[in-house]
Amino acid sequence: MIKRWEVLDSGLISDILQSKARFEQLVEFHWDYYSELAFQRNQIREQLKGSLREKAQPFEFSKWQRIVRYKYSLTPLSPKGSLVDPGGRFNIGELDRVRYRVFPALYIAADKGTALAEVLGRDESTGSFSPEDLALTKPDSITAVSVSGKLESTLDIRERNNLARFVNLIKDFRLSRSLILKARKLKFPLRLVKTAKELGGVLEQRDWRNWPMAFDVPAACQVFGGLVMDAGIEGILYNSAITQRLSLAIFPQNFLNSSSYVELDDAVPAEEVQRRIDSSNFSKFI
């Protein structure tokens, strides 16, 4: 039986050079792809933001869960951890500050299993083990806190109709002939979103990290998160790609002149731990 490492070890130098050249071509292609769509979005940016703003609704949550890595234990309400490259599902981290605007998000989930799986879990259920079980097998040190709060404006993308007007604005985007030819040469499938259902699937897809990690361009969900934040909306409700249960990405930078807040439900272990983030102190967290 031939092992995978034996096959890889038998490769020629020319194969390595060809692979490197193809990877560089893919990186360039993804930047061109991103740039063409970014230009078209910017042409109608205010309309796009308006389409999202009109669907935003207040949202309150009680005893939801937030899990942070141990290094952030004294600042459990800080979204700074979301800035680690490449960022989170709906925010752009330290990917490339020259090309992209970096912005944070605070992620919470309706239950502890989902919060845990979102932070630590990356695998499908295996046999009798759930994503939460698999997350528990990881040795990372973590802190779990119970949180409650209220947001004045939240976009619920589980309701695909909330995305309909947005999609109506972008469905006629076009790609240049040169980009299409590059895609054919690289055998890369090009497909633009045409329906709200398609967009919802893209925003909640499991492998969203592929593009930022491999090609240094934001994923579609990260771009969408930036538009939602720029629209002044304070949160995005969505289903976890791992557990299919409710999660929430919060943009505390939009708490200015708002009654919105997130607070810890339990007593804090030390005075320096901030129990609440709201309009009076959000700038200290981000």
- Strand-pair partners of 236: 155, 249
Averaged over 168-183, what is the pLDDT? Answer: 96
Looking at residue 103, its pLDDT comes to: 97
3-state DSSP assignment of residue 21: helix
Strands 106-109 and 91-92: unpaired
Ramachandran area for residue 140 (φ above 0: left; ψ -120 to 50: alpha; else beta): beta
Looking at residue 37, its pLDDT comes to: 97
Helix residue ranges, H only, the chain: 4-9, 13-43, 45-53, 112-120, 131-136, 164-170, 177-186, 196-203, 210-215, 220-230
Residue 272 has pLDDT above 90, yes or no: no
Q: What percent of the chain has pLDDT over 90?
A: 72
Averaged over 250-263, what is the pLDDT? Answer: 97
Two tokens, residue 11: 């490769």
Distance CA 134, CA 161 (A): 34
Residue 106 has pLDDT above 90, yes or no: yes
Distance CA 232, CA 55 (A): 12
Q: What percent of the chain has pLDDT over 70?
A: 87
Looking at residue 66, its pLDDT comes to: 97
* pLDDT tens digits for range 122-148: 555 455 556 555 555 566 788 999 999
Looking at residue 128, its pLDDT comes to: 55
Domain boundaries, the chain: 46-175+188-284
Residue 7 has pLDDT above 60, yes or no: no
Looking at residue 18, its pLDDT comes to: 59
55 in Cβ contact with 254 (< 8 Å)? no
Residue 115 has pLDDT above 90, yes or no: yes
3-state DSSP assignment of residue 6: helix
Residue 1 has pLDDT above 70, yes or no: no
Distance CA 225, CA 145 (A): 24
64 in Cβ contact with 240 (< 8 Å)? no
* pLDDT tens digits for range 26-83: 999 999 999 999 999 999 999 999 999 999 999 999 999 999 988 889 999 999 999 9
224 in Cβ contact with 233 (< 8 Å)? no
64 in Cβ contact with 53 (< 8 Å)? no
Q: Which of these, 33, 19, 18, 16, lies nearest to 215 by C-alpha position? A: 33
* DSSP assignment letter at 268: -
3-state DSSP assignment of residue 53: helix
Q: What is the pTM of this model?
A: 0.88
* DSSP assignment letter at 17: H
Q: Which of these, 55, 59, 248, lies nearest to 159 by C-alpha position? A: 55
Averaged over 176-204, what is the pLDDT? Answer: 95
Pairwise pLDDT comparison (11 vs 107), residue with the higher score: 107
Question: Quick count: other Cβ atoms within 10 Å of Cβ 208?
Answer: 21
- Strand-pair partners of 234: none
Looking at residue 40, its pLDDT comes to: 98
Dihedral angle over CA of 228, 38, 104, 137, nearest 10 = 100
